[in-house]
Structure 1
């Protein structure tokens, strides 16, 4: 642990009794005194506060937003140019083979683009951006701000006690809002399937803001354990597990993230890494597909479990990429990839666990409905 980085909230986590674990090069809280199960339920029913300061925040500027977006579109298969000011969108870095190098969020902040990338990929992502965009544009990693997420049906109520203007924001809106006497960059988004906000706050005020939110009766600190079970129930991909450099957006079921303007026949079709494979899979389909999976019984099936069509066939048809117990749905849930002929909802496949094959039913995603404020 001595080689790991710490977020500006490290001492606060320790003071709250968090169990700290290594994650993406940082010491991060996996759970607090409530425990993973209760933290998960609290977020679904009230509001949970997450430290996500380990993620990468990046500013891209040096030209009008339209020019920045046009340049970024050479790296992502997403309509960046069509994103309105004060709005945010989900995106993907792809490689020449059509695989996903990282997933990300980017926002139109008027005079610049603000991007948030995954912690484990941020050094590679920043290098990719600099190599492709500089010196025409400027790519600046933001290292003096923390990032926290407030998630749950009462997130709006809790955050509005610090500034009522946040109640006017809709899903994927971004704004600069004063909280605890300092300008914060807020998006109405998150990684739990619940309504909520992600808040970039100057490092010096990170503890004050976190403590102000935790002072609200309905807000609890939530660790990585519940963050993972929440996103799994919400059917959201975890980079390095459900998506990676060998997984295409079509295989992953992320076609919704590639707007029509970037697809075949669109005004700005192609022009991104891996376009040949990705656009062909749009037309012809992929050979495998990410699906929801419901194991029978109460025992979860976790990442790495191989999947088979029946109890005796030697041919592996896929693999679980995320799995665990879903506290909201009160049963084990999983996601994984299966060959397309076995991907229909209701199909039964078999996971091999300790030499025994056990049935799972292919299910639609998400396992629990999204609760975003549209």
Structure 2
């Protein structure tokens, strides 16, 4: 499949590759290192239209969704959002998602492209039963809209003049429906790079128009999925299918913070009994960050003790353009998960030195206050 910006990418030198059933740009004329560093110092525009946006509407929309995700959606203020996860009956993660409570009767979600079909089937199955029992909620999938991500220190200064919104009071996770350059959009101050930035849902037929407008800034460049992956890894952010899957619970993944405090007693969502037990008793494995020598570790590389005993496995790894070091994340036995622990990662048969390191590897610069983050 092609996004509405496919021809635009090709015209600008985008190297197109298949990703989750879509033809997407992995990079442009600059290198992945250059593209990563540019986002950290200036601004980058990503086409993320392969992601699936959807809205749940109705007086029971929040109640319905709280049966499927671990977050306290009811407790989110109108016009704000949070990361959450869909769980299965065993507490495993079906997908991670950013959920925004537009109002008490409207919730906007963005789910991963690679999980679209199973997510929609999962939601649809439970929605059918919920409505059959008298619940008031309906789902609208936004296949007519595209999604752009404007990320980096230049994002706010680029976007601000194009709309009537005071960004000094529009914090991380805040959401608004408004016109940007005369185009009706959904705007969320969020992203997947660790930098300040925005995700903009725009009518598909006007996506190229908006992209051109944003690229008028001399500080903003188009950026592809290659740099997006190194940026999110430096920021310690999970990639579904690598760092998260249906056999990993949010507690094991280090995402306990996504489980709403007001929900931890009842845990009245799918897999709640498993997760409640883990909250009380702990887990045997945990997700950690690693900095290593030698060749960069890749997914499925073994993690061992210095003596050679396997204690875990890498889930994501790459060379960090910002730190000029190899960084990775993976799952290890809890006893080996403390920051500073010396381990090894096995790459192409060679055991390289690795140190457990706190994440994010590169400090995030989200635009938020203590009030906005509460």
Report the Cα distance in structure 2 between the residues aligned to 1:349 and 1:178, rounded to whole angstroms: 52
SS at match of 1:109: strand
User: Partners in 2 of 1:277 and 1:108 — Cα distance?
Assistant: 27
CA RMSD of aligned residues (A): 1.1
Task: Find the residue that maps to 1:361 and give its secondary structure.
Answer: strand
How far has the Cα of 1:354 moved from its partner?
A: 2.4
Q: Structure 1 residue 81 and structure 2 residue 74: aligned?
A: yes
- 1:95 has 2:83 as partner: no
Answer yes or no: is 1:44 the counterpart of 2:45. no
Contact 1:183-1:201 at 8 Å conserved across structures: yes
In 2: Cα distance, 1:259 partner to 1:371 partner: 24
Which residue is 2:190 aligned to? Answer: 189
CA-CA distance at 1:355 after TM superposition: 2.2
- Report the CA distance between 1:347 and its aligned residue: 0.4
Does structure 1 residue 341 correspond to structure 2 residue 335? yes
**1:312 CA displacement:** 3.4
For residue 2 of structure 2, the aligned residue among 3, 6, 18 is 6
Does the alignment pair 1:215 with 2:216? yes
Q: How does 1:96-115 map to 2 (within 5 A)?
A: 96-110=89-103, 111-115=105-109
Query: Which residue of the partner structure matches residue 157 of structure 1?
Result: 157
User: Are 1:273 and 2:274 matched, yes or no?
Assistant: no
Equivalences for residues 276-287 of structure 1 within 5 A:
276-287=273-284
Please give the secondary structure, in 2, of the residue aligned with 1:165.
Answer: coil
> Which stretch shows the higher mean deviation, 228-237 or 33-42?
33-42
8 Å CA contact retained: 1:159, 1:166: no
> Tell me, what secondary structure is at the counterpart of 2:367?
coil
- Write the distance in 1 (CA, Å) between the matches of 2:342 and 2:363: 23
Aligned to 1:243: 244
Q: State the partner residue of 2:372.
A: none
Structure 2-normalised TM-score?
0.94
Aligned residues: 360
Shift of 1:164: 5.0
C-alpha deviations, 1:170-227, integer Å up to 9, x for none? Answer: 1100001211212100000000000000000001110000011111101000000000
Number of the residue aligned with 2:138: 138
SS where residue 231 of structure 2 aligns?
helix
Task: Please state how far the C-alpha of 1:166 moved relative to its aligned partner.
Answer: 5.2
Give, in whole Å, the separation in 1 of the partners of 2:145 and 2:246. 29
Task: Please give the TM-score of this superposition, normalised by the length of structure 1.
Answer: 0.94
Query: How far does the alpha carbon of each residue in 1:30-77 deviate from its partner, in whole angstroms, 9 at most, with x for none?
Result: 00001211110010001100000000011111x23xx21111111011
Q: Which runs of 4+ in 1 moved over 6 A?
A: none
SS of the residue 2:290 aligns to: strand
Provide the C-alpha distance between the structure 2 equivalents of 1:113 and 1:338, rounded to a whole number of angstroms: 36
Is 1:255 the equivalent of 2:256?
Answer: yes
C-alpha separation in 2, matches of 1:249 and 1:326: 26
Q: How far apart, CA to CA, are the structure 2 residues paired with 1:170 and 1:17? A: 34
Counterpart contact for 2:298–2:347, Cα < 8 Å: no
Q: Which residue of 2 aligns with 1:20?
A: 16
**More displaced stretch, 83-92 vs 10-19:** 83-92
Aligned-partner Cα distance in 2 for 1:16–1:323: 29
Partner of 2:173: 172
Kindly state the Cα deviation for residue 126 of structure 1 after the two structures are TM-superposed. Answer: 1.2
Determine if contact 1:311/1:357 at 8 Å carries over to the other structure. Answer: no
CA distance in structure 2 between the partners assigned to 1:288 and 1:58 by the alignment: 33
Instruction: Tell me the secondary structure at the aligned position of residue 165 of structure 2.
Output: helix
Q: Which 5+ residue runs of structure 1 have no aligned equivalent? A: none
Q: In the aligned structure 2, how far is the partner of 1:271 from the partner of 1:195?
A: 34
